[in-house]
């Protein structure tokens, strides 16, 4: 029994990590007052560019690719391309003040097409499908941390994951510190809550919005890269992100815009995704798929009842800031 629970938790962590990264990117974006619904699209862009970057690196060095370098290239490129997607969004909404929801949805459609098109295109050029070699594949497999991973139970539970899992948790903790303890983070929250006031206080609203949105998009891109490199084991698969971006948006609400809480919530969402494969309950499997959304709606109702400003969407989300309209 303990064994099953252990395996379930491990699988939940692995399934929840791309959700966590997508959600962290979106939390950072929303803290600046931008609701970017293009998470799915940016994840696709990151997914395809991460694997393509690693693949072309491997081709360039021919045969003796270094797994660590390949992994760093995948990380960097997926971040940059995800950030590029967010930059389109940022320019349209912040500078041109286009409607945020419409732009975000368009970015999702654009990114999905971008991912599938380039995945297919590079795959054809590679002679069938986009696959990375052994060295890079193994760089994305679980790392058994020496000594620690040998501890019974805890070793398996905590010290046996691929590096992106730890990276995502570090990002979440760093973000929590950033929002609550750093001056820049507090400024950013002020921008998200009330850009007019922030502007009057001398904060450069446009700059904050741009940087938060673009970096947020980059983090979403890394979440996408996780899907192509870890979930799919270094093979590009058509439509591979398949709704994870939307689930990440729901996760932001469930985590009540709190990045450290997002770690736990991602674990719950991940568990809901894979639970039916591990424990047999007399519930139709469709209910497992519905559960994250039902929970999200419940959280929305609860948070609106509590009227806690701390745990609600930043107030200016959805409206673009225009100084002359103050």
Partner 1 sequence: MKKKIIGALLSVVMIVGLVAGCSSSSSDSSSGSSAGSDALSKDNIKVGFVYIGDDSDQGYTSNFMDGTKEMKKALGLSDDQVIEKTNVGEDSSCETALRELAEGGCNIIFATSFGFEDYVMEVAGDYPDVQFCHATGYQSAASELANVHNYFSSIYEARYLTGIIAGMKTETNKIGYVAAMPYSEVISGYTAFYLGAKSVNPDVQMEVQYTNTWNDANLEAQLAQALVDDGCDVIGQHCDSAAAATTAEKAGVWQIGYNTNMIDKAPKASITSCRCDWGIYAEYAVQSLLDGKEIDKDWSQGLAENAVLVTDYNEDLMPEGAADAVEKAKQSIIDGDLHVFDTSTFTVDGKEMTTYKNDFGTEFIKDGYFHEQEIGYGGSSPAFPSDWIIDGITVKK
Binding flag, residue 233, partner 1 (CB under 8 A): yes
Element (H, E) at 162: none
Q: Encoding tokens for residue 159?
A: 């010290």
The verdict on 278 binding partner 1 (CB under 8 A) reads yes
Return the range that interacts with partner 1 (CB under 8 A); candidates 27-35, 55-63, 116-124, 250-258: 116-124
322 binds partner 1 (CB under 8 A): no
Residue in 23, 52, 237, 272 binding partner 1, rule: CB under 8 A: 237
Within residues 255-274, the interface with partner 1 by CB under 8 A covers: 273-274
Cβ closest to partner 1, residue 238 vs residue 293? 238
Find the shortest distance in angstroms from Cβ 242 to partner 1: 6
Q: Does 88 bind partner 1 (CB under 8 A)?
A: yes
184 lies in the binding site for partner 1 (CB under 8 A) = no
Please, what is the minimum distance in Å from the beta carbon of residue 143 to partner 1? Answer: 13
* Max CA separation in the chain (angstroms): 63
If the CB atoms of residues 96 and 148 are measured against partner 1, the closer one turns out to be 96
**Contact 203/65 with Cβ under 8 angstroms?**
no
If one asks whether residue 49 binds partner 1 (CB under 8 A), the answer comes out as: no
Burial class (CB in 10 A: 0-12, 13-18, 19+), 310: exposed
Q: Is residue 163 a contact residue for partner 1 (CB under 8 A)?
A: no
Residues 6-35 binding partner 1 (CB under 8 A) are 7, 11, 14-15
Single out the segment in contact with partner 1 by CB under 8 A; choices: 29-37, 119-127, 212-220, 259-267: 119-127
Nearer to partner 1, 113 or 326 (CB): 113
CB of 55 within 8 A of CB of 129?
no
Burial (CB count <10 Å: 0-12, 13-18, 19+), residue 91: middle
When the beta carbons of 236 and 321 are compared against partner 1, the nearer one is 236
Is residue 166 within the footprint of partner 1 (CB under 8 A)? Answer: no
CA distance 17 to 166: 9
When asked if residue 240 is in the footprint of partner 1 (CB under 8 A), the reply is yes
Residue 239 within binding range of partner 1, rule CB under 8 A: yes
CA distance linking residue 161 with residue 107, whole number of Å: 32
Cα–Cα distance for residue pair 158/255, rounded to 1 Å: 22
Residues in the chain: 326
Query: Under rule CB under 8 A, how many of the chain's residues touch partner 1?
Result: 48
Angle (deg, nearest 10), helices 259-278 and 244-254: 130
Residue-wise DSSP of 94-110: IIS---HHHHHHHHHHH
At 181, list the tokens. Answer: 């303890």
With beta carbons less than 8 A apart as the criterion, state whether 46 and 229 touch. no
Distances (CA, A) of 114 to 23, 85, 107, 117, 254: 21, 10, 10, 5, 29
Task: Verify binding: residue 131, partner 1, rule CB under 8 A.
Answer: yes
Q: 32 vs 108, which CB is nearer to partner 1?
A: 108
Binding footprint of partner 1 on the chain (CB under 8 A): 7, 11, 14-15, 88, 91-92, 95-96, 98, 106-107, 109-110, 112-114, 116-117, 119-120, 123, 128-129, 131, 134, 137, 141, 227, 231-240, 242, 244, 273-274, 277-278, 280, 285-286
């Amino acid at each position: 029994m303990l064994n099953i629970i252990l395996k379930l938790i491990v699988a939940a962590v692995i399934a929840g990590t791309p959700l966590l990264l997508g959600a962290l990117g979106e939390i950072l974006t929303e803290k600046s007052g931008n609701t970017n619904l293009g998470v799915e699209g940016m994840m696709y862009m990151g997914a395809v560019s991460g694997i393509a970057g690693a693949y072309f690196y491997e081709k360039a060095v021919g045969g003796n690719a270094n797994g660590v370098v390949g992994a760093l290239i995948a990380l960097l490129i997926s971040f940059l391309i995800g950030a590029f997607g967010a930059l389109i969004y940022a320019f349209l909404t912040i500078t041109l003040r286009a409607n945020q929801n419409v732009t975000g949805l368009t970015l999702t459609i654009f990114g999905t097409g971008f991912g599938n098109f380039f995945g297919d295109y590079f795959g054809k050029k590679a002679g069938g499908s986009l696959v990375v070699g052994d060295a890079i594949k193994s760089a994305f497999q679980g790392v058994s941390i020496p000594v620690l991973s040998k501890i019974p139970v805890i070793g398996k539970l905590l010290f046996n994951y691929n590096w992106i899992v730890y990276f995502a948790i570090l990002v979440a903790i760093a973000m929590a510190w950033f929002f609550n303890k750093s001056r820049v983070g507090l400024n950013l929250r002020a921008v998200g809550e009330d850009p007019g006031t922030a502007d009057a206080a001398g904060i450069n609203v446009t700059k904050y919005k741009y940087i938060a949105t673009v970096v947020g998009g980059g983090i979403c891109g890394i979440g996408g890269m996780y899907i192509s490199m870890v979930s799919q084991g270094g093979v590009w698969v058509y439509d591979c992100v398949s709704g994870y971006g939307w689930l990440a948006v729901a996760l932001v609400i469930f985590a009540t815009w709190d990045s450290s809480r997002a770690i736990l919530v991602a674990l719950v969402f991940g568990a809901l995704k894979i639970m039916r494969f591990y424990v047999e309950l007399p519930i139709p499997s469709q209910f497992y798929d519905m559960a994250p959304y039902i929970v999200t709606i419940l959280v929305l109702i609860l948070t609106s009842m509590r009227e806690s400003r701390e745990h609600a969407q930043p107030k200016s989300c959805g409206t673009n800031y225009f100084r002359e309209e103050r």
